[in-house]
Structure 1
Amino acid sequence: MTDTIEVVDFATSLQFTFDDLRRYSGPRSVGGLAHSFRVMQRVFPLLSPDGPPARREIQVRTAHPGPGLRDGVELVTRAVTEDRFRYDPAFARTDGGQRMSWWVFEFTYRDKIVTAHAREEFVPEALMHFALLGRKATPDERERFLAEIQKMSALVLAARPEEIYDIVGLG
Protein backbone atom coordinates (compact mmCIF):
# COMPACT_ATOMS: atom_id res chain seq x y z
CA MET A 1 0.00 0.00 0.00
CA THR A 2 1.27 3.45 -0.90
CA ASP A 3 0.96 5.70 2.10
CA THR A 4 -0.76 8.49 0.24
CA ILE A 5 -4.25 9.59 -0.64
CA GLU A 6 -4.87 10.43 -4.27
CA VAL A 7 -7.64 12.58 -5.70
CA VAL A 8 -8.14 14.31 -9.03
CA ASP A 9 -8.71 18.05 -9.27
CA PHE A 10 -9.49 19.53 -12.69
CA ALA A 11 -7.80 16.56 -14.45
CA THR A 12 -4.69 16.86 -12.26
CA SER A 13 -3.70 14.06 -9.89
CA LEU A 14 -2.97 15.23 -6.35
CA GLN A 15 -1.33 12.99 -3.77
CA PHE A 16 -1.25 13.71 -0.06
CA THR A 17 0.86 12.13 2.68
CA PHE A 18 0.14 12.24 6.38
CA ASP A 19 2.95 14.78 6.73
CA ASP A 20 1.10 17.03 4.26
CA LEU A 21 -1.99 16.85 6.46
CA ARG A 22 0.05 17.53 9.59
CA ARG A 23 1.71 20.58 8.05
CA TYR A 24 -1.72 21.94 7.12
CA SER A 25 -3.38 21.26 10.48
CA GLY A 26 -0.52 21.75 12.92
CA PRO A 27 0.71 19.57 15.79
CA ARG A 28 -2.20 19.49 18.24
CA SER A 29 -4.97 17.39 16.68
CA VAL A 30 -2.96 14.52 15.26
CA GLY A 31 -5.36 11.82 16.49
CA GLY A 32 -8.28 13.03 14.42
CA LEU A 33 -5.88 13.87 11.62
CA ALA A 34 -4.55 10.30 11.55
CA HIS A 35 -8.12 9.00 11.45
CA SER A 36 -9.00 11.37 8.60
CA PHE A 37 -6.01 10.09 6.62
CA ARG A 38 -6.75 6.41 7.16
CA VAL A 39 -10.52 6.61 6.70
CA MET A 40 -10.10 8.36 3.35
CA GLN A 41 -7.63 5.64 2.34
CA ARG A 42 -10.24 3.08 3.36
CA VAL A 43 -13.29 4.52 1.60
CA PHE A 44 -11.94 6.19 -1.56
CA PRO A 45 -11.28 2.87 -3.39
CA LEU A 46 -14.84 1.81 -2.57
CA LEU A 47 -16.29 5.10 -3.79
CA SER A 48 -14.23 5.16 -6.97
CA PRO A 49 -12.90 1.68 -7.80
CA ASP A 50 -11.63 2.69 -11.25
CA GLY A 51 -9.24 5.36 -10.01
CA PRO A 52 -8.93 8.31 -7.67
CA PRO A 53 -12.13 10.25 -6.99
CA ALA A 54 -12.68 13.79 -8.15
CA ARG A 55 -11.81 15.86 -5.10
CA ARG A 56 -14.59 18.40 -5.46
CA GLU A 57 -17.36 15.81 -5.75
CA ILE A 58 -16.81 14.18 -2.35
CA GLN A 59 -19.26 14.91 0.46
CA VAL A 60 -18.60 14.00 4.08
CA ARG A 61 -20.82 13.63 7.13
CA THR A 62 -19.54 12.73 10.59
CA ALA A 63 -20.41 12.99 14.26
CA HIS A 64 -16.76 13.74 15.06
CA PRO A 65 -16.38 17.35 16.25
CA GLY A 66 -12.59 17.54 16.25
CA PRO A 67 -10.49 19.95 14.21
CA GLY A 68 -7.93 17.34 13.13
CA LEU A 69 -10.50 15.25 11.32
CA ARG A 70 -12.03 18.31 9.69
CA ASP A 71 -8.63 19.68 8.64
CA GLY A 72 -7.51 16.42 7.03
CA VAL A 73 -10.72 16.09 5.06
CA GLU A 74 -10.53 19.76 4.04
CA LEU A 75 -7.00 19.56 2.69
CA VAL A 76 -7.73 16.51 0.56
CA THR A 77 -11.30 17.28 -0.58
CA ARG A 78 -11.92 21.01 0.00
CA ALA A 79 -15.26 19.86 1.44
CA VAL A 80 -15.29 22.34 4.35
CA THR A 81 -14.64 25.40 2.18
CA GLU A 82 -17.11 24.26 -0.47
CA ASP A 83 -19.84 23.33 2.05
CA ARG A 84 -19.72 19.58 1.43
CA PHE A 85 -18.57 18.70 4.97
CA ARG A 86 -21.25 18.25 7.58
CA TYR A 87 -20.64 17.82 11.28
CA ASP A 88 -23.83 16.14 12.49
CA PRO A 89 -24.02 15.19 16.18
CA ALA A 90 -27.30 13.36 15.46
CA PHE A 91 -25.33 10.99 13.20
CA ALA A 92 -23.51 9.60 16.25
CA ARG A 93 -23.08 5.87 16.61
CA THR A 94 -25.34 4.11 19.06
CA ASP A 95 -23.14 1.05 19.51
CA GLY A 96 -20.08 1.18 21.75
CA GLY A 97 -21.40 3.85 24.15
CA GLN A 98 -20.25 7.43 24.33
CA ARG A 99 -16.63 6.50 23.66
CA MET A 100 -17.41 5.32 20.12
CA SER A 101 -20.24 7.74 19.32
CA TRP A 102 -18.11 10.19 17.31
CA TRP A 103 -16.26 7.63 15.21
CA VAL A 104 -18.62 7.33 12.25
CA PHE A 105 -17.84 8.64 8.78
CA GLU A 106 -20.07 8.81 5.73
CA PHE A 107 -18.56 9.66 2.35
CA THR A 108 -20.71 10.30 -0.70
CA TYR A 109 -19.31 10.38 -4.21
CA ARG A 110 -21.52 10.62 -7.25
CA ASP A 111 -24.03 7.76 -6.82
CA LYS A 112 -22.19 5.93 -4.02
CA ILE A 113 -22.30 6.25 -0.24
CA VAL A 114 -19.84 4.51 2.08
CA THR A 115 -20.23 4.56 5.86
CA ALA A 116 -17.32 3.50 8.05
CA HIS A 117 -17.02 2.96 11.81
CA ALA A 118 -13.71 2.98 13.63
CA ARG A 119 -13.00 -0.15 15.65
CA GLU A 120 -12.74 0.21 19.41
CA GLU A 121 -9.09 -0.77 19.63
CA PHE A 122 -8.21 2.38 17.66
CA VAL A 123 -10.00 4.77 20.03
CA PRO A 124 -8.36 4.85 23.49
CA GLU A 125 -10.86 4.67 26.32
CA ALA A 126 -9.30 7.61 28.20
CA LEU A 127 -9.69 9.88 25.19
CA MET A 128 -13.41 10.51 25.63
CA HIS A 129 -13.00 11.32 29.32
CA PHE A 130 -10.46 14.03 28.54
CA ALA A 131 -12.39 15.31 25.53
CA LEU A 132 -15.52 15.81 27.65
CA LEU A 133 -13.58 17.85 30.19
CA GLY A 134 -12.92 20.51 27.57
CA ARG A 135 -11.98 23.84 29.09
CA LYS A 136 -12.51 22.47 32.60
CA ALA A 137 -9.43 20.28 32.26
CA THR A 138 -6.45 21.06 34.45
CA PRO A 139 -3.06 21.61 32.81
CA ASP A 140 -2.08 18.09 33.89
CA GLU A 141 -5.25 16.63 32.35
CA ARG A 142 -4.59 18.52 29.11
CA GLU A 143 -1.07 17.08 28.98
CA ARG A 144 -2.43 13.55 29.49
CA PHE A 145 -5.05 14.21 26.80
CA LEU A 146 -2.34 15.29 24.32
CA ALA A 147 -0.33 12.18 25.19
CA GLU A 148 -3.39 10.00 24.48
CA ILE A 149 -3.91 11.75 21.14
CA GLN A 150 -0.26 11.10 20.22
CA LYS A 151 -0.63 7.42 21.15
CA MET A 152 -3.81 7.11 19.09
CA SER A 153 -2.16 8.75 16.10
CA ALA A 154 0.78 6.33 16.23
CA LEU A 155 -1.57 3.36 16.60
CA VAL A 156 -3.74 4.42 13.66
CA LEU A 157 -0.81 5.22 11.39
CA ALA A 158 0.84 1.87 12.16
CA ALA A 159 -2.25 -0.05 10.99
CA ARG A 160 -3.72 -0.66 7.56
CA PRO A 161 -7.02 1.17 6.88
CA GLU A 162 -9.00 -2.07 6.61
CA GLU A 163 -7.84 -3.02 10.12
CA ILE A 164 -9.17 0.24 11.57
CA TYR A 165 -12.61 0.70 9.98
CA ASP A 166 -15.60 -1.53 9.46
CA ILE A 167 -17.66 -0.66 6.41
CA VAL A 168 -21.21 -0.63 7.75
CA GLY A 169 -22.94 0.86 4.73
CA LEU A 170 -22.16 0.61 1.05
CA GLY A 171 -24.62 1.80 -1.48
Structure 2
Amino acid sequence: MNRITVTGKGQSLIFTFEEILKYFGSGKISGCVVGVSHGLISMQLAFPMLDAGRPLERREVSVRTAFPGAGARDALEMVTRCFTDGRVVVDKNMPEAKDAVESPRGRYYFEYSYRGRTIACSVKPG
Protein backbone atom coordinates (compact mmCIF):
# COMPACT_ATOMS: atom_id res chain seq x y z
CA MET A 1 0.00 0.00 0.00
CA ASN A 2 2.88 2.40 -0.53
CA ARG A 3 1.63 3.57 -3.93
CA ILE A 4 -1.28 5.14 -5.73
CA THR A 5 -2.44 4.87 -9.32
CA VAL A 6 -4.09 7.71 -11.24
CA THR A 7 -4.37 8.48 -14.93
CA GLY A 8 -2.94 11.30 -16.96
CA LYS A 9 -4.84 11.81 -20.21
CA GLY A 10 -5.92 8.17 -19.99
CA GLN A 11 -2.43 6.78 -19.33
CA SER A 12 -1.87 4.91 -16.06
CA LEU A 13 0.52 6.66 -13.66
CA ILE A 14 1.79 5.00 -10.48
CA PHE A 15 3.41 7.02 -7.69
CA THR A 16 5.14 5.41 -4.72
CA PHE A 17 5.85 6.79 -1.28
CA GLU A 18 9.58 6.65 -2.06
CA GLU A 19 9.10 8.65 -5.28
CA ILE A 20 7.12 11.30 -3.44
CA LEU A 21 9.92 11.57 -0.85
CA LYS A 22 12.40 12.04 -3.70
CA TYR A 23 10.14 14.73 -5.19
CA PHE A 24 10.08 16.44 -1.81
CA GLY A 25 13.87 16.53 -1.79
CA SER A 26 15.83 15.82 1.35
CA GLY A 27 12.65 14.25 2.72
CA LYS A 28 14.26 12.86 5.85
CA ILE A 29 12.83 15.59 8.04
CA SER A 30 10.50 13.56 10.27
CA GLY A 31 7.59 16.02 10.16
CA CYS A 32 7.66 16.15 6.38
CA VAL A 33 7.76 12.36 6.13
CA VAL A 34 4.61 12.32 8.28
CA GLY A 35 3.00 14.90 5.97
CA VAL A 36 3.89 12.84 2.88
CA SER A 37 2.40 9.79 4.61
CA HIS A 38 -0.85 11.54 5.51
CA GLY A 39 -1.18 13.04 2.04
CA LEU A 40 -0.63 9.69 0.31
CA ILE A 41 -2.77 7.64 2.69
CA SER A 42 -5.68 10.09 2.50
CA MET A 43 -5.60 9.87 -1.32
CA GLN A 44 -5.38 6.08 -1.15
CA LEU A 45 -8.50 5.99 1.03
CA ALA A 46 -10.54 8.64 -0.77
CA PHE A 47 -9.82 8.07 -4.46
CA PRO A 48 -11.43 4.61 -4.80
CA MET A 49 -14.67 6.01 -3.33
CA LEU A 50 -14.78 8.88 -5.82
CA ASP A 51 -15.15 6.71 -8.96
CA ALA A 52 -16.08 3.14 -8.02
CA GLY A 53 -12.47 2.04 -7.56
CA ARG A 54 -11.28 3.23 -10.97
CA PRO A 55 -8.09 5.33 -11.12
CA LEU A 56 -8.94 9.03 -11.22
CA GLU A 57 -7.89 11.41 -13.97
CA ARG A 58 -5.30 13.33 -11.93
CA ARG A 59 -6.02 16.78 -13.34
CA GLU A 60 -9.72 16.54 -12.47
CA VAL A 61 -9.17 16.13 -8.71
CA SER A 62 -9.74 19.22 -6.56
CA VAL A 63 -8.47 19.47 -2.99
CA ARG A 64 -9.42 21.39 0.16
CA THR A 65 -7.21 20.90 3.18
CA ALA A 66 -6.48 22.38 6.58
CA PHE A 67 -2.91 21.12 6.47
CA PRO A 68 -0.34 23.41 4.80
CA GLY A 69 2.74 21.27 5.48
CA ALA A 70 5.35 20.75 2.78
CA GLY A 71 5.24 16.93 2.81
CA ALA A 72 1.50 16.72 2.20
CA ARG A 73 1.69 19.57 -0.31
CA ASP A 74 4.26 17.68 -2.36
CA ALA A 75 2.30 14.42 -2.19
CA LEU A 76 -0.86 16.18 -3.42
CA GLU A 77 1.03 18.07 -6.12
CA MET A 78 2.95 15.10 -7.45
CA VAL A 79 -0.14 12.92 -7.73
CA THR A 80 -2.79 15.46 -8.81
CA ARG A 81 -0.93 18.62 -9.94
CA CYS A 82 -3.57 20.55 -7.95
CA PHE A 83 -1.21 23.36 -6.92
CA THR A 84 0.11 23.90 -10.43
CA ASP A 85 -3.41 23.94 -11.88
CA GLY A 86 -5.04 25.99 -9.07
CA ARG A 87 -7.40 23.25 -7.91
CA VAL A 88 -6.48 23.43 -4.23
CA VAL A 89 -7.62 25.48 -1.25
CA VAL A 90 -5.49 25.45 1.90
CA ASP A 91 -7.35 26.89 4.89
CA LYS A 92 -6.03 26.16 8.37
CA ASN A 93 -9.34 27.43 9.83
CA MET A 94 -11.73 25.12 7.96
CA PRO A 95 -14.68 24.45 10.29
CA GLU A 96 -14.91 20.89 8.93
CA ALA A 97 -11.42 20.20 10.28
CA LYS A 98 -12.14 21.05 13.92
CA ASP A 99 -12.16 17.38 15.03
CA ALA A 100 -9.07 16.34 13.06
CA VAL A 101 -5.74 15.81 14.82
CA GLU A 102 -3.71 18.99 14.96
CA SER A 103 0.00 19.23 14.30
CA PRO A 104 2.22 22.30 14.68
CA ARG A 105 1.51 23.11 10.97
CA GLY A 106 -2.27 22.53 10.90
CA ARG A 107 -4.95 19.88 11.10
CA TYR A 108 -4.75 16.62 9.16
CA TYR A 109 -7.93 17.10 7.15
CA PHE A 110 -8.25 16.56 3.39
CA GLU A 111 -11.27 16.86 1.09
CA TYR A 112 -11.09 15.48 -2.43
CA SER A 113 -13.62 16.31 -5.17
CA TYR A 114 -13.92 14.54 -8.49
CA ARG A 115 -16.65 14.76 -11.12
CA GLY A 116 -19.30 15.99 -8.69
CA ARG A 117 -18.42 13.80 -5.71
CA THR A 118 -16.53 14.81 -2.56
CA ILE A 119 -14.87 12.64 0.09
CA ALA A 120 -13.31 13.93 3.31
CA CYS A 121 -10.48 12.22 5.21
CA SER A 122 -9.00 13.21 8.52
CA VAL A 123 -6.84 11.85 11.26
CA LYS A 124 -8.93 11.64 14.40
CA PRO A 125 -7.58 11.55 17.94
CA GLY A 126 -6.56 8.09 19.14
Q: Same fold (TM over 0.5)?
A: yes
Identity within the alignment, %: 35
Structure 2 CA distance, aligned partners of 1:97 and 1:62? 13
Deviation at 1:98, TM superposition (A): 5.0
Q: Deviations over 1:115-158 (max 9, x none)?
A: 1111324xxxxxxxxxxxxxxxxxxxxxxxxxxxxxxxxxxxxx
1:1-171 equivalences in 2 (<5 Å): 2-26=1-25, 27=27, 28=29, 29-92=32-95, 93-95=97-99, 102-121=107-126
* Aligned CA distance change for structure 1 residues 20 and 83 (closer, same or farther; 3 Å): same
* Aligned CA distance change for structure 1 residues 54 and 103 (closer, same or farther; 3 Å): same
Which structure would you say has the larger Rg?
1
The root-mean-square deviation of aligned C-alpha atoms, in Å, is: 1.9
**Structure 1 runs not aligned, ≥5 long:** 122-171
Deviation at 1:67, TM superposition (A): 0.7
TM-score, normalised to structure 2's length? 0.86
Instruction: Return the structure number with greater helix share.
Output: 1
**Structure 2 runs not aligned, ≥5 long:** none
TM-score, normalised to structure 1's length? 0.65
2:58–2:80 Cα contact (<8 Å) kept = yes
Matched residue count = 120
